[in-house]
Amino acid sequence: MATTSSAKTASDELLIHTKMVDFLAWLFPILNTFPKNQRMVMCQQISNSALDCLRLIVSARNARSPSKRSSLLFELNVELEVLRKLLSVAHTIGFLNAKRTENGMKQLLELGKMCGGWIKRYDQA
């Protein structure tokens, strides 16, 4: 039988995965609205970064050692920051309007907070 703390941890880990999938479902249709000549440049970078975030979440959930999990969570935190910067650049050059940029940033902020909580939980363990 799982303890309450391990059940909460599993639930939190599943929630960050679900939120990342929701972000991807929001992001990919928007990337299709970028100018065609930028889809192979900006869109590719943004989509690769977002998919890397998902990969890191799955890898961290499945990491066997605490040190490996911590390393993956640090990478996830960095990749979320890269993704925020890429969305900011897309907004600055006019590919994203203010409303979409704000929505994306809010989602990434929430994912970053969840990642930070996950890091703190495993650093204390």
For residue 107, is pLDDT > 50? yes
What residues have CB less than 8 Å from 50, skipping those under 6 apart? 20, 23, 24, 27, 83
Q: Average pLDDT over the chain, rounded to whole?
A: 89
How far is C-alpha 10 from the geometric centre of its chain's CA atoms? Answer: 18
Whole-model pTM above 0.95?
no
- 27-54 pLDDT, tens digit per residue, is 999 999 999 887 788 999 999 999 999 9
pLDDT band at 124 (very low <50, low <70, confident <90, very high): low
HSE of 116 in the Cβ direction (CA atoms, 13 Å)?
Answer: 8
Q: Please give the Cα distance from 14 to 20 (Å, whole number).
A: 10
Lowest mean pLDDT among 33-47, 87-101, 102-116: 33-47
Q: Please give the Cα distance from 80 to 25 (Å, whole number).
A: 16
pLDDT at residue number 6: 52
pLDDT band at 116 (very low <50, low <70, confident <90, very high): very high
Q: Please give the Cα distance from 39 to 31 (Å, whole number).
A: 7
DSSP 111: H
pLDDT at residue number 2: 44
